[in-house]
Amino acid sequence: MALISIIEDFHPLNDAKLLYRADELKPSLHHEIVEPVGGFQLKERYSPEREEIVLQKVPKLAMGKGQNLCLDFGDHYVGYLTLEFSYTGSHPDAPAFLKLKFSEVFDELSENSDDYDGWISTSWIQEEYIHVDVLPARVTLPRRYAFRYLKITMMDTSPKYKLIVKHAELLTESSANYKRLEPFTTGDELKDRIYNVGIRTLANCMQDVFEDGPKRDQRLWMGDLRLEALANYVSFRNMNLVRRCLYLFGGSRFPDGRISANVFIKPAVEADDTWMFDYSLLFVVALEEYLQETNDEETLNDLYDIAMQQVEISLRHCDERHVVDDEAANAAFIDWREGMDKRGCAQAVLIFAMRYARRLARRKNDYSQANWLLEQLELLRKAAIEYFWDEEQKCFVSEGQTAMATQVWMVLADVLEPEKARELMENSERFLEPYKMATPYMHHYYVTALCRTGLLEKAEKHMKEYWGSMLDAGADTFWEAWDPDDPKASPYGGKVINSYCHAWSCSPVVLIKKFFTQQK
């Protein structure tokens, strides 16, 4: 995969002061105890056919070899599971051997992980085999899981006893404080549902850092952070958590100063050796947006140079025509769409980020830098028109492709006059194929591009249709990747590895609050 880089002897540049600050900003975690609200058994181990069990009967259900019990916790949660086991029959004369499968969505329950053959590690599949040596027992699993459903399969007991699951409970964990959430309604039922599921998605990704997904990768990625931060500003307003994450990105970078696409927290803070051209530039955007919310000058002073450095490094990737070079363009993420040319997108993201960089410079009273940025971005903007705009097709073309992503980013970067941009987006349906948007991340930018060109109705309609179709498909939290026309699609070669609570999909929280709520 193009986006998997392994740099031999990668030693990130760590800034002790910034990392110390990040450490001071560690959030408090909130906990709640949750119990199952329903139970059922799958008729066969890998079949979705289910037989309901009255919840009160679960503590009397004697499980022999091969039997399963599924518990439904009623909503998507993140936390630590405790199970209490008992038995019927004789004193257990052999350990109980169990398989536990934690599923974010119902379909996952009946998937056989052995069938997965993609490039993501199967170690992310939330499955455990455990032996319980002494019964009765109260077992708390040491790992954190993200799930709504728990499937317990009895791998073996012994001929002398059967196992009983007497009690199950989950200690939830999140740094989102629901008490800070103000009551909110749009008056539109579907929008309210989308908003609420978005909030839950955000909350379950808010942990020690803003994670991309609590199932996978449980990690701080820049692209996710930017959207989470925006949703957080209009909901939980945990400013310190955003600040902490910005310091983490600033505090551990590539040896040449680039912001990494993601940062590891454990065992110690360490930038990943993956550089994504667009993600490193979104640091500049996220920093500026944080300042809009907080006017926190200390953070500006601490991170300003690093933000400017991202632009400067990116500009070094422009050729004499002021076009982003292939190396950088290939290193842009944009969306999970293989084969899509990213030159146009990369050019636009750089312009987009430079507008935020310029605002940072003005905030810092660094007017010469602000002016220089304006000059540079104008050169890039003109180059974008010159080399990517196709007057015949009336759209942007990147290596012969007219992908939606390219149009969207060009619009967001204000490359076109407003009127022309609006025309482009009015006819945006023609860009839906063949380089289809694959993720809610890309759909977010599409909706914002529609909003930016004043097409609010069309934007709202798309949001409702796209995120609404996830609700129809049973989402308790929004998913990492979703194509309503192809529900089995996965960018990872198998849905069992998909993340069904993914930060970058929480963006309707901000879309609804910012664009789709009637002002009273």
Q: Which of 54, 112, 117, 143 binds its own copies (CB under 8 A)?
A: 143
Neighbours of 25 (CB within 10 A): 18
Q: Report, in Å, the least distance between residue 328 CB and its own copies.
A: 21
Stretch that binds its own copies, among 66-74, 155-163, 308-316, 426-434 (CB under 8 A): 155-163
Residue 46 binds to its own copies (criterion: CB under 8 A): no
Torsion angles phi and psi, residue 360, rounded to 5: -60, -45
Q: Which of 2, 16, 54, 134 binds its own copies (CB under 8 A)?
A: 134
Burial of 326 (0-12, 13-18, 19+ CB in 10 A): middle
Q: Which of 72, 104, 270, 335 binds its own copies (CB under 8 A)?
A: 270
Nearer to its own copies, 142 or 183 (CB): 142
Instruction: List the x/- string, 79-108, binding to its own copies by CB under 8 A.
Output: ----------xxx-xxxxx-----------
| CA angle, residues 303, 304, 310, in degrees to nearest 5 | 95
Q: Report, in Å, the least distance between residue 264 CB and its own copies.
A: 5
Residue 488 binds to its own copies (criterion: CB under 8 A): no
Residues 282-301 touching its own copies, rule: CB under 8 A, are none
Q: Quickly tell me which residue has 């066969």 as its tokens.
A: 44
Consecutive H or E run containing 444: helix 440-452
Residue 326 near residue 335 (C-beta atoms within 8 A): no
Residue 336 binds to its own copies (criterion: CB under 8 A): no
DSSP string of 174-238, one letter each residue: BS--GGGPPP---S-HHHHHHHHHHHHHHHHHBSSSB-S-TTTT-SEEHHHHHHHHHHHHTTT--
Nearer to its own copies, 221 or 516 (CB): 221
Residue 17 binds to its own copies (criterion: CB under 8 A): no
Residue 6 binds to its own copies (criterion: CB under 8 A): yes
Q: Report, in Å, the least distance between residue 378 CB and its own copies.
A: 39
Residue 158 binds to its own copies (criterion: CB under 8 A): yes
Q: Which of 2, 56, 115, 133 binds its own copies (CB under 8 A)?
A: 133
Residue 131 binds to its own copies (criterion: CB under 8 A): yes
Q: Quickly tell me which residue has 């019927």 as its tokens.
A: 88
Number of residues that bind its own copies (CB under 8 A): 43
Strand, coil or helix: 63: strand
Q: Quickly tell me which residue has 């945006």 as its tokens.
A: 428
> How far is residue 330's CA from residue 277's CA, in Å, rounded to a whole number?
8
Nearer to its own copies, 145 or 195 (CB): 145
Stretch that binds its own copies, among 5-13, 233-241, 290-298, 448-456 (CB under 8 A): 5-13
Residue 208 near residue 175 (C-beta atoms within 8 A): yes
Residue 33 binds to its own copies (criterion: CB under 8 A): no
Residue 124 binds to its own copies (criterion: CB under 8 A): yes
Burial of 409 (0-12, 13-18, 19+ CB in 10 A): buried
Residue 347 near residue 405 (C-beta atoms within 8 A): no
Q: Report, in Å, the least distance between residue 2 CB and its own copies.
A: 12
Nearer to its own copies, 95 or 454 (CB): 95
Q: Report, in Å, the least distance between residue 174 CB and its own copies.
A: 18
DSSP 117: -
Residue 418 near residue 355 (C-beta atoms within 8 A): no
Q: Which of 157, 314, 376, 505 binds its own copies (CB under 8 A)?
A: 157
DSSP 401: B
Q: Is the peptide bond before 267 cis (omega within 30 degrees of 0)?
A: yes
Residue 255 binds to its own copies (criterion: CB under 8 A): no
Q: Report, in Å, the least distance between residue 330 CB and its own copies.
A: 18
Strand, coil or helix: 80: strand
Nearer to its own copies, 219 or 364 (CB): 219
Q: Report, in Å, the least distance between residue 111 CB and its own copies.
A: 16
Q: Which of 64, 84, 106, 128 binds its own copies (CB under 8 A)?
A: 128
Residues 187-246 touching its own copies, rule: CB under 8 A, are 216-217, 219
Torsion angles phi and psi, residue 277, rounded to 5: -55, -50
Residue 436 binds to its own copies (criterion: CB under 8 A): no
The torsion defined by the Cα of 16, 17, 19 and 21, in degrees rounded to 10, comes to 160
Neighbours of 156 (CB within 10 A): 14
Stretch that binds its own copies, among 267-275, 315-323, 420-428, 470-478 (CB under 8 A): 267-275
Residue 7 binds to its own copies (criterion: CB under 8 A): yes
Nearer to its own copies, 141 or 171 (CB): 141
Q: Which of 13, 155, 456, 473 binds its own copies (CB under 8 A)?
A: 155
Q: 3-state SS string over 131-174?
A: EECCCCEEEECCCCEEEEEEEEEEEECECCEEEEEEEEEEEECE
Q: Report, in Å, the least distance between residue 313 CB and its own copies.
A: 21
Q: Is the peptide bond before 212 cis (omega within 30 degrees of 0)?
A: no
Residue 16 binds to its own copies (criterion: CB under 8 A): no
Stretch that binds its own copies, among 125-133, 327-335, 397-405, 463-471 (CB under 8 A): 125-133
Torsion angles phi and psi, residue 373, rounded to 5: -65, -40
Instruction: Kindly list the residues in this chain that would bind its own copies in the complex (CB under 8 A).
Output: 1, 4-7, 10, 89-91, 93-97, 119-124, 128-129, 131, 133-136, 143, 155-160, 216-217, 219, 264, 266-267, 270, 272-273
